[in-house]
Structure 1
Amino acid sequence: MTGTTPSDRRPADGSPVARVCVDVALAHLDRPFDYLVPAALADDAVPGVRVKVRFAGQLVDGWLLERVDSSAHDGRLAYLEKVVSPEPVLAPEVARLARAVADRYAGNLADVLRLAVPPRHARVEKEPRADPVPVVVDPSDAGSTTPAVDGLDPRGWRDYPAGPALLTALADGRAPRAVWSALAGEDWAARYADAVAATLAGGRGAVVVVADARDLDRLDAALTALLGPGRHVTLSAALGPARRYRAFLAARRGDVPVVIGTRAAMFAPVDRLGLVAIWDDGDDLHAEPRAPYPHAREVLLTRARLADAAALVGGWTRTAEGQLLVETGWAREVVADRATLRARTPAIAPTGDDPQLARDPGAATARLPSLAWTTARDTLRADAPVLVQVPRRGYLPSVSCADCRTPARCPHCAGPLALRAADAPPACRWCGRVTAAYACPQCGGRRLRAAVTGARRTAEELGRAFPGVPVRTSGRDEVLAAVPAGAALVIATPGAEPVADGGYGAVLLLDSWALLTRADLRAGEEALRRWLSAAALARPAPAGGKVVVVADGALAPVQALLRWDPGWFAARELAERRELGFPPAVKMASVTGGAEAVADLLAQARLPDGAEVLGPVPADEDRERMLVRVPRSRAAALAGALHTAAGVRSARRAAEPVRLQVDPLALF
């Protein structure tokens, strides 16, 4: 850390003015401030470094954005106090991206920079640098470790008519934009590794974002196998401060051309960025829970536009946002033809259509109808594993009165009661209090019945139904990465399904009502995403793979699953949202806080013409939520108006905070 004392300060000879983003989370201060660069700090005070400045009488952190010759400020400028480190951690491209993201989400630049640049780790900065791995433009160079396009394995992408053209465009250094719907059983990590290798062969770098640690491990292994060690780094908040900062510095210094990670990697600095990619963009883990709440998909697409880079949005399913990219022509879809689709997908059957109900009248109410039971039995007899997806974890996460069916609630806080084991007393899921002597307030009954069955109870029931068969569970407490081949029952919650050696012989999708009846705009989309993620682990139909979904076959998400046509469902969802005026067909922002604070902010906001204010609707605790809806063409005006109104309130030092979210995942 370098600094100066007041007695020896004089302005630097060249470009003596530094424009600094001060790390102050107040909307009315969301602009650069000018400071003089002391001559003693002239060499270290370069754009991108961390600095210390005096602001409102306090010493605060900041980022030096640029050096200029003069300032438009008429008054006297203060000097930079310190250069925290001469390491220019903020790349110019990332600084431009952070500003664009802050503007899009009605947020502050300082908040975005805290997401983009990890906390400093001084010891890591002092470590000796590794030899940088060059990005070789000519893949035919015999001394290059960058694979030539001819050396890539194109067989996986050949199953998609537009796939080879995508690789060719990446290798040529162009910027294709694609929305990819993966086939069942696809090694998606290997396909992403192919795209990254083609980008490197074109002389450019890549950033790939996945939802969780399991996906990150798969992609890490695929890239290592294809590119060799040392050509990429993983960036994740779970790495810990030192490892995360080491990986960040390797990318910032240009030591590696590829960064992969969870949403922490969406701002990763990469030289000559040529590709941004995201897998499973419908997963809510891609949404940042800290202000200004950006979504990794939108950050990456903004980055592709600013850097003239390629973009790849992939998944088993397709979101309405992905469909919008296709329908507006911003991206092309990469899908398989129907013949390939039929050869690669498992046989899928519902239990609630008319033929099944005729054979099994109880299928409409049974949790495990006869079709699901016989499918599991036959698969186990064939010495193949069976995957059972259950939407809820735990034992009995919700119970009700056995006599009148009234939901059982905690007498202390009114939270839902649950059973954690067969011999456990009911306990509150909110406050944790045990209610051993529960009595129904409606009828006085003391017996309880299951309202929702969890994964552990399902494992117990199926273990009794199929004695002698190994039963494995994968969920919150322990997530399995893989299971061996052979007869076994694997009970998993959504997102925790392990990969089976050779694929599952059968996949059972239970309790579909728990996904389809959620009060959420994305309930159908999320249900299909979870079903396809599990069904993709089954063997193809020619190899005996089967999927049974316990649901009515007439429902649109079930139809999309039966035909393995997520594009059709996404187009249907987008059309309905256009008709009803819901995102992503329109832009919407939520304003959440106390009733007076929300009203105050909206009164200050100069909303664009055509803006509709909806609500209020109850939010958590004692707060309410108002929604503001505008056409997509007025998105920037809406974000600017809300940010300006937040600035007026912060300048007045309004006591009660208000949370602004543009494009919130949940509207209700």
Structure 2
Amino acid sequence: MDVPLAHLDRPFDYAVPVRMADTAVPGARVKVRFAGQDVDGYVLARAAGSDHTGRLQPLRRVVSSEPVLAPEIAELSALVARRWAGTRSDVLRLAVPPRHAAAEKVPSAPSPVATRPVEIQSWGEVPHAEAFLGRLRAGDAPRAVWTAAPGDDWPSMVAAAVASTLAGGRGSLVCVPDQRDVTRVDAALTATLGAGQHAVLTAESGPAARYGEFLSISRGARKVVVGTRASVFAPVRDLGLVVVWDDGDDLHAEPRAPYPHARDVLLMRAEQQGAAALVAGFACTVEAHHLLTRGWAHHLVAPRAAVRRRARVDVVPGEDRAVGTRLPRLALEAIREGVADGPVLVQTPRAGYAASLACERCRTPARCGACSGPLRLAGPTSPPQCRWCGQAAASWSCPECGHRGLRAPVLGEARTAEELGRSFPGTTVRSSSGERILECVADKPAIVVATVGAEPVAEGGYCAVVLLDTWITLGRDDLRVAEEALRRWMGAAGLVRPGGRVVAVGDPASPALQALVRWDPAGLAAREWAERVEAHLPPAARIATITGEPGALDDALTLASLPDHAEVLGPVVVSADLQRVVVRVPAASGPALSDALGELQRLRSARKLDPVRVQVDPPTL
């Protein structure tokens, strides 16, 4: 039942009236009477009897006889709820889209008969790839972590794996971070399989279209699905392959309770349904490396010689940030040589014009006189403006030295595009960020300045890719800072055409930049994994956070029956009213920790105590 109370998170028995015998099928939506009101629910199973000793309440009505909750998804919802210490009702809200009655009346047309042969040429330079695809065609369940090389047409390579699985008579599920990636994979699947062979599940489709696509999957009319994180629960029949692309992207982490991660849900489905698994990306996360160290998956990666042929990667020291130039000579040369033949990509980590300002003479940060907030420039002709209160500071002067001049230590993509326009007169300069994200650019000379994640795809690839201000990306206070920085840089560098050039502006001694030069994300992941093992951090350990008001947090810690060897770290202040503790256990005690926290949620719900937020394996601390 769709009841948010954790202590009521279990199946209940109801009698099926004779008039509903043909419509109250397993998986159907129904209304039942519970605690004096009508609530929504799903039929899990039909049985001849019940172990309930009293009189069973009858179903109120069958909302729809469409079996939208497949048995394997019902089982998966229980596994996910247990793993992340949540409730099945919360998981089912993520798994089954809202009903659209008009869409249910439209029959799902079956997929046309596929006549195209499976193409595997796009995997040609990857050792063991042909064996991997061959096992997919044979109906086996191989598991791999694939590190893509620069210039790889990864959507076509994923489509080849899907086609191999479909040739073996089984379905596939491909999960990507955002709509732009969905569009690319959608086009590749259409080109490889033909039109009408797959379904697309995204929120951008709209309620009716999305529910219609969901029904085509549930009814078995489509056996191939591509979508964003909500698609991991798609009821694909005869599931033979699950694919997650760029699993380090934070868009794969569900922001709603119980906060599951798309990668981990897909791996659970692979175990549950005996399907193959492919964890793929230009970078390699620590979690993906953990799969390799356990022997759960094998590594698919292009040889070093092939990577060197694809792209040349250089790192040049950046400016002193006190003196000097932001674009070193080598970066300017790469842009000049690249733009002579086609498009050039310049990645910058900040959007806007000038996100922060400082005194031109003594470098003191410029602050608002009214609220002490940081000043910024919105454009070349705009006066300095406070980022907090919005007040203009046209007459600002430095409180330390009295100087009125300002400099911008951190420049956004708009200012970067302006500078490049002056440096390369006559060259088209385009920006991609925020609300103005370009989908693709033509294969003609141009400079494209983009923020992280907003890089458009170039027809034929970019002639050169320049990564600016890498010190900003590495300067975040986060456990995954090096891993995330390398993922962002490789996501841009992977768009280069074969034989192109990549130049990163930063500290050549940085391990993350060294891994970029070698195109060795697995090496950095191994280094990070070893440090996590030594520090007892995920994935070498299991952690959970409990957040709430001080009194509620004390109650939770008192009621929780934590497993042996559990460490409670904190509490620490999160905000004026909230505190947080971190509970850490060895990886082997992870299931016990999830069970203990799930029981804690049920106890607190039954006693109507103040709520706390429980998050198992949060993506970041």
The TM tier, using the shorter chain, reads over 0.9
Give the Å deviation of 1:631: 1.1
Residue by residue, what CA displacement relative to the aligned partner does 1:10-51 show, whole Å, maximum 9, x if unpaired?
xxxxxxxxxxxx111121111112222222212111111111
Instruction: Specify the code of the residue in structure 1 equivalent to 2:8.
Output: L
Partner of 1:329: 295
Partner of 2:205: 239
Q: 2:395 & 2:557 partners in 1: Cα distance?
A: 49
Give the Å deviation of 1:447: 4.8
One of 294, 305, 312 as aligned partner of 1:347: 312
One of 288, 294, 304 as aligned partner of 1:338: 304
* CA distance 1:119–1:408, shift in 2 (3 Å): farther
Q: In structure 1, the residue corresponding to 2:140 is in which secondary structure?
A: coil
Q: 1:340 & 1:396 partners in 2: Cα distance?
A: 40
* CA distance 1:409–1:629, shift in 2 (3 Å): farther
Task: Indicate whether 1:607 and 2:562 are aligned.
Answer: yes
Contact 2:118 2:167 in 1 (8 A): no
Partner of 1:139: none
Q: 1:631 & 1:361 partners in 2: Cα distance?
A: 43
One of 174, 185, 192 as aligned partner of 2:151: 185
Give the Å deviation of 1:480: 1.3
One of 593, 606, 619 as aligned partner of 1:638: 593
* CA distance 1:310–1:74, shift in 2 (3 Å): same
Give the Å deviation of 1:119: 0.2
* CA distance 1:71–1:438, shift in 2 (3 Å): farther
Residue by residue, what CA displacement relative to the aligned partner does 1:544-587 show, whole Å, maximum 9, x if unpaired?
x2111111222111111001111111111111111111111111
Give the Å deviation of 1:336: 1.2
One of 468, 478, 488 as aligned partner of 1:510: 468
Task: Indicate whether 1:123 and 2:102 are aligned.
Answer: yes
Partner of 1:145: 114
Task: Indicate whether 1:651 and 2:606 are aligned.
Answer: yes
Q: In structure 2, the residue corresponding to 1:420 is in which secondary structure?
A: coil
Q: In structure 2, the residue corresponding to 1:462 is in which secondary structure?
A: helix
Give the Å deviation of 1:502: 2.8
Give the Å deviation of 1:490: 0.7
Contact 1:401 1:408 in 2 (8 A): yes
Partner of 1:396: 354
Task: Indicate whether 1:531 and 2:509 are aligned.
Answer: no
* CA distance 1:597–1:519, shift in 2 (3 Å): same
One of 312, 329, 336 as aligned partner of 1:377: 336
After superposition, residues 116-515 of structure 1 pair within 5 angstroms as 116-127=95-106, 129-133=107-111, 144-145=113-114, 147=116, 151-344=117-310, 346-352=311-317, 366-380=325-339, 382-402=340-360, 405-409=363-367, 415-430=373-388, 432=390, 434=392, 447-515=405-473
Q: In structure 2, the residue corresponding to 1:130 is in which secondary structure?
A: coil
Q: 2:78 & 2:367 partners in 1: Cα distance?
A: 47
Residue by residue, what CA displacement relative to the aligned partner does 1:326-367 show, whole Å, maximum 9, x if unpaired?
1101111111112222222x1111113xxxx9xx99999632
Instruction: Specify the code of the residue in structure 1 equivalent to 2:330.
Output: L
Q: 1:632 & 1:411 partners in 2: Cα distance?
A: 51
* CA distance 1:313–1:464, shift in 2 (3 Å): same
Contact 1:162 1:335 in 2 (8 A): no
One of 599, 603, 618 as aligned partner of 1:664: 618
Contact 1:183 1:336 in 2 (8 A): yes
* CA distance 1:68–1:413, shift in 2 (3 Å): farther
Contact 1:104 1:639 in 2 (8 A): yes
Task: Indicate whether 1:626 and 2:581 are aligned.
Answer: yes
One of 68, 73, 80 as aligned partner of 2:59: 80
Q: 1:209 & 1:613 partners in 2: Cα distance?
A: 35
Q: In structure 2, the residue corresponding to 1:36 is in which secondary structure?
A: coil
**Which runs of 5 or more structure 2 residues have no equivalent in the other structure?**
none
Partner of 1:67: 46
Q: 1:442 & 1:604 partners in 2: Cα distance?
A: 54
Contact 1:210 1:279 in 2 (8 A): yes
Contact 1:347 1:540 in 2 (8 A): no
One of 69, 75, 80 as aligned partner of 1:101: 80
Q: 1:620 & 1:210 partners in 2: Cα distance?
A: 33
Contact 1:50 1:62 in 2 (8 A): yes
* CA distance 1:525–1:40, shift in 2 (3 Å): same
Partner of 2:553: 598
Q: 1:181 & 1:664 partners in 2: Cα distance?
A: 24
* CA distance 1:56–1:130, shift in 2 (3 Å): closer
Residue by residue, what CA displacement relative to the aligned partner does 1:603-627 show, whole Å, maximum 9, x if unpaired?
2111100111112233245322211
Give the Å deviation of 1:391: 0.5
Instruction: Specify the code of the residue in structure 2 equivalent to 1:490.
Output: V
Residue by residue, what CA displacement relative to the aligned partner does 1:597-648 show, whole Å, maximum 9, x if unpaired?
2222122111100111112233245322211111111111111111111221
Task: Indicate whether 1:585 and 2:540 are aligned.
Answer: yes
Q: 1:437 & 1:122 partners in 2: Cα distance?
A: 61
Q: In structure 2, the residue corresponding to 1:160 is in which secondary structure?
A: coil
Q: 1:159 & 1:596 partners in 2: Cα distance?
A: 59
Q: In structure 1, the residue corresponding to 2:53 is in which secondary structure?
A: coil
One of 500, 505, 516 as aligned partner of 1:561: 516
Q: Structure 1 residues 597-606 or 407-416, which shifts more?
A: 407-416
Q: In structure 1, the residue corresponding to 2:583 is in which secondary structure?
A: strand
Q: 1:406 & 1:98 partners in 2: Cα distance?
A: 54
Contact 1:577 1:583 in 2 (8 A): yes
Q: In structure 2, the residue corresponding to 1:367 is in which secondary structure?
A: coil
* CA distance 1:619–1:363, shift in 2 (3 Å): closer
Q: Structure 1 residues 33-42 or 568-577, which shifts more?
A: 33-42
Give the Å deviation of 1:399: 2.6
Contact 2:171 2:237 in 1 (8 A): yes
Q: Structure 1 residues 71-80 or 460-469, which shifts more?
A: 71-80
* CA distance 1:439–1:274, shift in 2 (3 Å): same
* CA distance 1:55–1:408, shift in 2 (3 Å): farther
Give the Å deviation of 1:72: 3.0
Q: 1:499 & 1:611 partners in 2: Cα distance?
A: 47
Partner of 1:141: none
Indicate the percent of aligned positions where both proteins have the same amino acid.
56
Residue by residue, what CA displacement relative to the aligned partner does 1:50-96 show, whole Å, maximum 9, x if unpaired?
11111211111111111223333333322211111111100011111
Q: In structure 2, the residue corresponding to 1:34 is in which secondary structure?
A: coil
Q: 2:173 & 2:322 partners in 1: Cα distance?
A: 47
Contact 2:119 2:160 in 1 (8 A): yes
Q: 1:110 & 1:146 partners in 2: Cα distance?
A: 42
Give the Å deviation of 1:481: 1.8
Contact 1:108 1:292 in 2 (8 A): yes
Aligned pair count? 621
**Which runs of 5 or more structure 1 residues have no equivalent in the other structure?**
1-21, 135-143
Q: Structure 1 residues 102-111 or 439-448, which shifts more?
A: 439-448
* TM, length-normalised to structure 2: 0.96
Q: 2:278 & 2:96 partners in 1: Cα distance?
A: 24
Contact 2:108 2:215 in 1 (8 A): no
Give the Å deviation of 1:436: 5.2
Partner of 1:15: none
Q: 1:93 & 1:435 partners in 2: Cα distance?
A: 61
Give the Å deviation of 1:659: 1.2
Residue by residue, what CA displacement relative to the aligned partner does 1:208-251 show, whole Å, maximum 9, x if unpaired?
01111111111101111111111101000111100100000000
Q: 1:54 & 1:554 partners in 2: Cα distance?
A: 66
Instruction: Specify the code of the residue in structure 1 equivalent to 2:10.
Output: R
